[in-house]
Amino acid sequence: MEMRKMRLNILFSLLCIVFFITSCNQERSKIQTEKDFISIVDRDTSRLHLVLYKDRFHGKIINTKPGGYIVKGEINGKIVGDTLEGDNLYTPFKWANQKRAPIVLLKKGENYLLGNGIVSIHLGIPHFMPGSINFDNPKHTYLPVQK
């Protein structure tokens, strides 16, 4: 019985490795763009690092407020036209546990606007309600960082 479990574990591991190798070689896994952005509103600074693929994105977002108040988050999601829809997994200031929040960014020229909307939770995952996403008066307008 133990030998059979061991063989199944080895077979499963080999299948996972083959799947990983083939998925990394696909066209959609090639990085299209990798850029840094910054937004400064009053005394708040927000930095955004985006890695864009054909139809997916991921990155980091760091919000810095006066007094050393820093919130770091990992973002990821899908690209729909000129809109990036996904979630932000972040640790609130001085919290021990991470929190998840929806995030939506609209590409406007070289900039990205941070949108907002009505948040709903479905199966424990927060997202914006369809039709509620709004980019009027965005909290942050991310400008590209010149290197």
- Residue 48, judged by CB atoms within 10 A of its CB (0-12, 13-18, 19+), counts as buried
**Could you report the per-residue pLDDT of 112-135, keeping only the tens digit for each?**
999 999 999 888 889 899 889 999
The total of other beta-carbon atoms located within 10 Å of residue 16's CB is 10
pTM for the model stands at: 0.75
Task: Tell me the HSE value of 140 on the side-chain side, using a 13 A CA sphere.
Answer: 22
Q: Which of helix, strand or coil describes residue 41?
A: strand
Provide the residue ranges of all domains of the chain, joining segments of one domain with +: 1-29, 31-144
**Could you report the per-residue pLDDT of 16-66, keeping only the tens digit for each?**
565 666 555 455 567 788 999 999 998 899 999 999 999 999 999 999 988
